[in-house]
């Protein structure tokens, strides 16, 4: 078994983080905070879907009246999703399949699209 050299501390290599006052607990706290912030963004974007009534027909990972968000993410790109949300989908006979949503703000549309693609 090799002996730790002088640059190791508690089995970990000294890193710029450890030598500049951020210990492992501090790094853990930073990682935890980043995860919480990302999770909050995810929840906020899901809330946009709820506010826009998307969950009446869609579910995250199972088919309801319409394809799941996961299926949409696998089959579509961002521009297709935005186009369908903005303009809706109609059948050949003019019957509405998905209503157009022209009132959603551009920022909410972008956030909703990114949330759908992340499913």
Say if residues 112 and 52 touch (Cβ distance below 8 Å). yes
Residue 116 has a CB neighbour count (10 Å cut-off) of 24
Report pLDDT for 42: 64
Report pLDDT for 100: 95
Report pLDDT for 2: 54
Report pLDDT for 93: 77
Q: Specify if 1 maps to a domain.
A: no
The token duo for 107 is 């920022």
Spatial distance between the Cα atoms of 99 and 67, rounded to a whole number of angstroms: 15
Question: Residue 21: pLDDT above 90?
Answer: no
Q: Specify if 2 maps to a domain.
A: no
Q: Specify if 69 maps to a domain.
A: yes
CA torsion angle for 48, 81, 57, 95 (degrees, to 10)?
130
Q: Specify if 50 maps to a domain.
A: yes
pLDDT digits (tens, 9 = 90+) for 36-60: 434 445 678 999 999 999 999 999 9
Of the two residues 95 and 77, the one the predictor is more confident about is: 77
Q: Specify if 47 maps to a domain.
A: yes
Per-residue pLDDT, averaged over 53-81, amounts to 96
Q: Specify if 6 maps to a domain.
A: no
CATH of the domain at 107: 1.10.760.10
Q: Specify if 4 maps to a domain.
A: no
Q: Specify if 3 maps to a domain.
A: no
The token duo for 117 is 């693609």
Report pLDDT for 113: 98
> Tokens 């996961």 appear where?
70
DSSP 9: E
Domain holding 28, by residue range, is 14-117
Spatial distance between the Cα atoms of 10 and 7, rounded to a whole number of angstroms: 10
Looking at the structure of the chain, the number of domains it has is 1
């Amino acid at each position: 078994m090799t002996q730790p050299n002088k640059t190791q501390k508690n089995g970990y290599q000294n890193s710029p983080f450890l030598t500049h006052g951020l210990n492992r607990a501090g790094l853990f706290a930073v990682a935890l905070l980043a995860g919480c912030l990302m999770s909050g963004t995810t929840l906020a974007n899901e809330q946009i879907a709820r506010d826009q009534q998307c969950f009446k027909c869609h579910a995250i990972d199972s088919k309801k009246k319409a394809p799941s968000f996961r299926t949409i993410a696998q089959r579509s790109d961002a521009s297709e999703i935005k186009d369908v949300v903005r303009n809706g989908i109609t059948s050949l006979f003019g019957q509405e399949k998905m209503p157009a949503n022209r009132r959603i703000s551009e920022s909410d549309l972008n956030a909703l699209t990114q949330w759908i693609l992340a499913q």
